[in-house]
C-alpha cells in the first residue's frame, strides 16, 4: 500500500510538471504572436501618415495609368493597377494592402519551412501557425524606409517569397504539393520579371542550380513551369502592348533610356561586388542582440527549470521592449547608417551558434545537402533582390533581409524535432521582431525625404484623383495646398497633360490630378536627364504636347532646362504664361532649402502648336 501511494504521488507530480511545462510553452509561443500583431497594427495605423514627392509618387503615378507610357523596364504598374482601382486609389489603403500581402506571403513561407522541419502532429498545428506568424514579422523590415505604397521593390520581394514557397514544396515525384510548388515557381518567376528583369535573370539561375543539385529535377515539371512562365509573359505582352514585338521594344527602349542616366551599360554595372561599413553602434547592437537571443534560447534548451525560468524572463523582457517601442514610450536613437538592416544577421548567427553548442556534431552531420542548398539560396536571395540596382547591394538587399534569418531557421529547426522546438524558437522570433520594431521606428522618426517624425504630423490633406486623406506635417500640407489652390485658380482641369521640368515633383502632378506625360517621373539631377526627358517626350503625340502645361523650378537642384521646349517647336517666353507659383517645403525631394515652383499654361492656339511640333520633329 505504501509503495502504491508513493507511485501515485510520483505520477501526480510528473503530471503537474508536464502540465506546468505545457503552460509555459503556450505562454512563450503567445508572446511573439501578440508582439507581432502589435507591430502589424502599428504599421497599419500609420499607413495614412507622410508623403514622398519623388519615389513614392512615381509609384503612385505608375499605378494610376501604367498604359500611358510606351516604354518601361518594370511593369509593376500593370500588375498593381487592378488593386489601385479596387481600392479607389486610396493611398492609405494601398499601403495597408501592400503590408498585408507581404506579411501573408511571409507567413505562408515560414509555415512551409517549419512544417517540413519540426514535428507536424495534429495537436501542434496551432502552435506551428502561431510561431510562423511571429517569424513572418521579420518581413516587415522591408517597410522600415517608409515607402509603403506598392512598387517594383515590393513586387520584387513578393515574387521572391512566392518562388521560395515553391522551392520548398517542389519535388521530383508527382503529388499535389509538388505540383503547387512548381506552379508557384513559374508564377513567382513571372512576377519577378514584371517587377525587375535583372532580378528575374538572377533568380532563374539560383532556382535552376538549386533544383539540379538538390535532386528535385523532373523534366516534365520543369517544362511545365517554363511553359507557364512563358504563357504568363505572352499574355502580359499582349495585354500591355498588343504584341510580343511591341513588348520587347518597350523593354529595349527602357534599357537604352536607363543608360542615359547611368552614363554606361546598365547590364555591365549590375555585375559587381559591393562592400559595407558598420558603425560602432551597429556592431554593439549586433553583439547584444546575438548574445541575448542565444542565451535565451540556450536556457530554454536545458532541462533545468531555473535556466528555463531565466529563458522565459529574457523572452518577456524582449517582448516588453517591443511593446515599449510600438507604444512610443521608448525611442532608440540610431546614428545615420545605410546598413542598419544588416543587424538581422544577429538572429541566424545566434541560431547557428546554438546548433553548434547544443547539438554539436549532430547539428552538422544530420544536415542533408538539400537543406544546406536551400539555406545557401536564401542567403543569396537579398542580393538577387538587389541585383541590377544602382545602390549598394548590401544596402538595397537588407530590405529583403527576411531571407537571411530564414536561412538560419532552415538550418537549426530540424535539430529541434525531439525537444521543445516551438518554445526554443521563441527568443529568435522575438529578437527579429525587436530588430524590426527598432528599424521601423527609425523609419517613422526619419521618414524617406521628410523632415519631421510621423507622430508629429497633424494636418489632414486630400490629394490625388481619389482625394485620399493623408496626415502630413504643416510644411508639407502648406506646400501641397498652395500647389493645388494655384492650379485650381488657374483653371487647371484634372487629366490635363503637364511637362514637369522641376525634375523632382511627380507628387505635385499627382496631387493636382495632372497627367504626367513623357515619364511617370521626369527625373532631373543626372548628366543624362536632359537627353532622357527630350527622348521620352518625343514619344508623346504632338496633339498632347500642344495642350500640355509646364511645371518649372528655375533654381532647383534637379531642374531641367526649358530649352527642351525647342524640341517640339515652342519656347517659354512666347508660348506660355505663368499662372501660379508657390514655395516648396523643406525636405521635399530630399533638399532642405526652399525653392520657388511655377506653373505655366500654353497660350498659343493648339492647332498652331501641333503643326510647330510636327515640323520641329522632322528636323531632329
With 50 as the cut, is the pLDDT of residue 160 above it?
yes
Q: Is 133 domain-assigned?
A: yes
- Contact (CB, 8 A) for 33 and 486: no
Q: Is 582 domain-assigned?
A: yes
C-alpha dist (Å) from residue 386 to 45, 190, 201, 252, 375? 29, 17, 12, 21, 18
My answer on whether 439 and 480 are in the same domain is no
Which whole number is the average pLDDT over 114-143?
82
Q: Is 535 domain-assigned?
A: yes
With 60 as the cut, is the pLDDT of residue 478 above it?
yes
Strand partners of residue 470 = 461
Q: Compute the 3-state secondary structure of the chain and give helix, strand, coil in percent, each to the nearest 5.
A: 70, 5, 25
Q: What does DSSP say about strands 596-602 and 576-583: parallel, antiparallel, or unpaired?
A: antiparallel
My answer on whether 537 and 596 are in the same domain is yes
My answer on whether 430 and 286 are in the same domain is yes
Domain boundary among 445, 460, 489: 445
Q: Is 458 domain-assigned?
A: no
Q: Is 181 domain-assigned?
A: no
Which tens digit of pLDDT belongs to each residue from 303-348? 677 888 888 999 999 999 999 999 999 999 888 888 999 999 999 9
C-alpha dist (Å) from residue 314 to 25, 207, 300, 309? 14, 39, 10, 9
My answer on whether 35 and 88 are in the same domain is yes
499, three cell numbers: 511637362
Name the residue range of residue 592's domain. 473-618
Task: Give me the number of domains the chain comprises.
Answer: 2
With 50 as the cut, is the pLDDT of residue 13 above it?
no
- CB-CB neighbours of 550 under 10 Å: 21
My answer on whether 434 and 483 are in the same domain is no
Q: Which is nearest to 28 in space by CA: 414, 295, 422, 351?
A: 422
Q: Count of residues for the chain?
A: 620
- Contact (CB, 8 A) for 61 and 509: yes
My answer on whether 315 and 432 are in the same domain is yes
My answer on whether 486 and 381 are in the same domain is no
Which whole number is the average pLDDT over 152-163?
98
Strand partners of residue 461 = 470
Q: 275-280 — which CB contacts under 8 Å span 24+ positions? A: 275/392, 275/394, 276/338, 276/339, 276/342, 276/392, 276/394, 276/395, 277/339, 278/337, 278/339, 278/342, 279/335, 279/337
pLDDT-derived band of residue 2, with 50, 70 and 90 as boundaries?
very low
Q: What does DSSP say about strands 596-602 and 468-472: parallel, antiparallel, or unpaired?
A: unpaired
333, three cell numbers: 536613437
Strand partners of residue 576 = 602
Which tens digit of pLDDT belongs to each residue from 543-599? 999 999 999 999 999 999 999 999 999 999 999 999 999 999 999 999 999 999 999
Give CA–CA dist 133/41, Å, rounded: 14
User: What three-state secondary structure class fits 94?
Assistant: helix
User: What three-state secondary structure class fits 187?
Assistant: helix
251, three cell numbers: 523593354
My answer on whether 416 and 493 are in the same domain is no
Strand partners of residue 97 = none
Give CA–CA dist 446/452, Å, rounded: 7
Q: Is 251 domain-assigned?
A: no
Q: Give me the numbers of helices (H) and strands (E) for the chain, helices first please.
A: 25, 7
Q: Is 509 domain-assigned?
A: yes
With 60 as the cut, is the pLDDT of residue 514 above it?
yes
My answer on whether 440 and 478 are in the same domain is no
My answer on whether 477 and 404 are in the same domain is no
My answer on whether 435 and 499 are in the same domain is no
Q: Is 378 domain-assigned?
A: yes
- What is the percent of the chain where pLDDT is above 90? 72
Which tens digit of pLDDT belongs to each residue from 32-59? 999 999 999 999 999 999 999 999 999 9
Burial 348-360 (b: 16+ CB within 10 A, else e): bbbbbbbbeebbe
Which is higher by pLDDT, 598 or 276?
Answer: 598
DSSP 275: -
My answer on whether 487 and 586 are in the same domain is yes
- Contact (CB, 8 A) for 437 and 326: yes
Amino acid at each position: 500500500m505504501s509503495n502504491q501511494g508513493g507511485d501515485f504521488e510520483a505520477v501526480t507530480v510528473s503530471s503537474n510538471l508536464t502540465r506546468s511545462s505545457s503552460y509555459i510553452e503556450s505562454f512563450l509561443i503567445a508572446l511573439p504572436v501578440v508582439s507581432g500583431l502589435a507591430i502589424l497594427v502599428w504599421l497599419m495605423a500609420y499607413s495614412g501618415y507622410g508623403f514622398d514627392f519623388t519615389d513614392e509618387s512615381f509609384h503612385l503615378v505608375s499605378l494610376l495609368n501604367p498604359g500611358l507610357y510606351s516604354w518601361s523596364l518594370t511593369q509593376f504598374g500593370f500588375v498593381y493597377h487592378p488593386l489601385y482601382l479596387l481600392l479607389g486609389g486610396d493611398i492609405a489603403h494601398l499601403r495597408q494592402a501592400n503590408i498585408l500581402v507581404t506579411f501573408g506571403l511571409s507567413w505562408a513561407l515560414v509555415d512551409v519551412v517549419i512544417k517540413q522541419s519540426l514535428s507536424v502532429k495534429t495537436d501542434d498545428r496551432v502552435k506551428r501557425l502561431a510561431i510562423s506568424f511571429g517569424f513572418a514579422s521579420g518581413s516587415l523590415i522591408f517597410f522600415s524606409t517608409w515607402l509603403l505604397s506598392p512598387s517594383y521593390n515590393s513586387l520584387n520581394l513578393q515574387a521572391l517569397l512566392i518562388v521560395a514557397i515553391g522551392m520548398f514544396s517542389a519535388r521530383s515525384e508527382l503529388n499535389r504539393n509538388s505540383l503547387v510548388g512548381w506552379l508557384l515557381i513559374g508564377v513567382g518567376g513571372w512576377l519577378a520579371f514584371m517587377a525587375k528583369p535583372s532580378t528575374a535573370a538572377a533568380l532563374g539561375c539560383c532556382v535552376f542550380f538549386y533544383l539540379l543539385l538538390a535532386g528535385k529535377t523532373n523534366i516534365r515539371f520543369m517544362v511545365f513551369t517554363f511553359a507557364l512562365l512563358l504563357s504568363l509573359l505572352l499574355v502580359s505582352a499582349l495585354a500591355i502592348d498588343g504584341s510580343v514585338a511591341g513588348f520587347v521594344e518597350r523593354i529595349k527602349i527602357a534599357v537604352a533610356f536607363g543608360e542615359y542616366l547611368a552614363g554606361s551599360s546598365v547590364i555591365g554595372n549590375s555585375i559587381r561586388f559591393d562592400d559595407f561599413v558598420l558603425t560602432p553602434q551597429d556592431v554593439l547592437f549586433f553583439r547584444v542582440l546575438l548574445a541575448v537571443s542565444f542565451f535565451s534560447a540556450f536556457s530554454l534548451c536545458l532541462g533545468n527549470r531555473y535556466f528555463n525560468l531565466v529563458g522565459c524572463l529574457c523572452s518577456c523582457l524582449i517582448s516588453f521592449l517591443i511593446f515599449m517601442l510600438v507604444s512610443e514610450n521608448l525611442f532608440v536613437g540610431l546614428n545615420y547608417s545605410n546598413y542598419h538592416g544588416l543587424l538581422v544577421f544577429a538572429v541566424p548567427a545566434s541560431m547557428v551558434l546554438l546548433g553548434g553548442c547544443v547539438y554539436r556534431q549532430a547539428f552538422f552531420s544530420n544536415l542533408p545537402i538539400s537543406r544546406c542548398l536551400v539555406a545557401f539560396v536564401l542567403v543569396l536571395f537579398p542580393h538577387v533582390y538587389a541585383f541590377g540596382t544602382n545602390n549598394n547591394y548590401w544596402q538595397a538587399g537588407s530590405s529583403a533581409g527576411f531571407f537571411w534569418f530564414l536561412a538560419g531557421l532552415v538550418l537549426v529547426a530540424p535539430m529541434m524535432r525531439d525537444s521543445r522546438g516551438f518554445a526554443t524558437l521563441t527568443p529568435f522570433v522575438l529578437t527579429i521582431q525587436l530588430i524590426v520594431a527598432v528599424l521601423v521606428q527609425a523609419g517613422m522618426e526619419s521618414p524617406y525625404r521628410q523632415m519631421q517624425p510621423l507622430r508629429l504630423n497633424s494636418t489632414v490633406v486630400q490629394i490625388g484623383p481619389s482625394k485620399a486623406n493623408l496626415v502630413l506635417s504643416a510644411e508639407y500640407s502648406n506646400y501641397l495646398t498652395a500647389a493645388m489652390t494655384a492650379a485650381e485658380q488657374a483653371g487647371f482641369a484634372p487629366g490635363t497633360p503637364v511637362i514637369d521640368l522641376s525634375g523632382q515633383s511627380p507628387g505635385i502632378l499627382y496631387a493636382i490630378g495632372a497627367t504626367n506625360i513623357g515619364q511617370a517621373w521626369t527625373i532631373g539631377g543626372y548628366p543624362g536627364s536632359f537627353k532622357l526627358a527630350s527622348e521620352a517626350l518625343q514619344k508623346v503625340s504632338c496633339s498632347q504636347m500642344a495642350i500640355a502645361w509646364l511645371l518649372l523650378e528655375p533654381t532647383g537642384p534637379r531642374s531641367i532646362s526649358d530649352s527642351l521646349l525647342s524640341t517640339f517647336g515652342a519656347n517659354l517666353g512666347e508660348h506660355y504664361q505663368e499662372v501660379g507659383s508657390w514655395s516648396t517645403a523643406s525636405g521635399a525631394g530630399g533638399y532642405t532649402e526652399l525653392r520657388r515652383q511655377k506653373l505655366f499654361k500654353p497660350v498659343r492656339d493648339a492647332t498652331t502648336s501641333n503643326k510647330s511640333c510636327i515640323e520641329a520633329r522632322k528636323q531632329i
